[in-house]
Amino acid sequence: MTASTSTSTGSTRPIGAGEPFAGSRTSDFKIWWREVDRVLLLLVLLLVAIGAAAVAAASPATARRLSTSEVTLPDLYFYWAHMRWLVVGLAVMLGASFLSRDNARRVGVLLAVAMIGALMLVPLIGHEVNGAKRWIKFGIGFQPSEFLKPGFAILLAWVLSWRLRDPNLPVLAVVSAVAALVGVLLMLQPNLGATILFGGVWFVLVMLSGVSFKKIAGLVVGSVAGVVAAYFFYGNARNRIDAFFGGGTAFDHVDLAERTLLSGGWTGAGFWLGEQKMRLPEAHTDYIFSVIGEEFGLIWCALIVVVYLAIIGRALVRLADEENLFALLAAAGLTAQIGGQAFINIMVNLQLFPSKGMTLPLVSYGGSSTIAVCLTVGLLLAMTRRNPFLTRETPGIAGFASNKEPPR
What are 114-171's pLDDT values in tens digits? 999 999 988 887 777 666 677 787 767 788 889 999 999 999 999 998 887 777 788 8
Q: Please report whether residue 144 resides in a domain.
A: yes
Which of 186 and 142 is assigned the larger pLDDT? 186
Helices (H), 209-352: 213-233, 235-246, 249-263, 288-296, 298-319, 325-349
Q: Where does residue 345 fall: left (phi above 0), alpha (psi -120 to 50 degrees), or beta otherwise?
A: alpha
pLDDT value at residue 403: 52
DSSP secondary structure of 2-25: --EEE-TTS-EEEPPSS-TTHHHH
Which of 24 and 298 is assigned the larger pLDDT? 298
Dist. CA 377–CA 314, nearest whole Å: 13
Using the predicted structure, report yes or no on whether residue 9 has a pLDDT greater than 50.
Answer: no
For residue 394, give its domain range.
50-401
Dist. CA 408–CA 400, nearest whole Å: 16
DSSP-derived secondary structure letter, 162? G
Which of 111 and 169 is assigned the larger pLDDT? 111
Using the predicted structure, report yes or no on whether residue 12 has a pLDDT greater than 50.
Answer: no
Using the predicted structure, report yes or no on whether residue 252 has a pLDDT greater than 80.
Answer: no
Q: Please report whether residue 13 resides in a domain.
A: no
Q: Please report whether residue 365 resides in a domain.
A: yes
Dist. CA 326–CA 240, nearest whole Å: 37
pLDDT (tens digit per residue) in 333-391: 999 999 999 999 999 888 877 776 788 999 999 888 899 999 999 999 999 988 655 55
Omega before 281 within 30 of 0, i.e. cis = no
Q: 376 and 148 in contact (C-beta within 8 Å)?
A: no
Q: Please report whether residue 2 resides in a domain.
A: no
Q: Please report whether residue 278 resides in a domain.
A: yes
Mean per-residue pLDDT over the chain, rounded: 81
Q: Please report whether residue 65 resides in a domain.
A: yes
Q: 154 and 112 in contact (C-beta within 8 Å)?
A: yes
Out of 9-13, 106-110, 382-386, least confident range: 9-13
Using the predicted structure, report yes or no on whether residue 267 has a pLDDT greater than 90.
Answer: no
Strands (E), 61-206: 127-129, 132-138, 140-142
Q: Please report whether residue 20 resides in a domain.
A: no
Q: Please report whether residue 26 resides in a domain.
A: no
The pLDDT confidence band at residue 76, using thresholds 50, 70 and 90, is very high
pLDDT value at residue 408: 46
Residue of 240, 238, 260 whose CA lies nearest to 248: 240
Most trustworthy range by pLDDT among 47-56, 234-243, 273-282: 47-56
What amino acid is encoded at 163 in this protein?
R
- Mean pLDDT computed over 399-408: 49
Out of 105-119, 191-205, 273-287, least confident range: 273-287
Using the predicted structure, report yes or no on whether residue 188 has a pLDDT greater than 70.
Answer: yes
Dist. CA 4–CA 373, nearest whole Å: 39
Q: How many domains are contained in the chain? A: 1
Angle at 192 between CA 182 and CA 276, to 5 degrees: 140
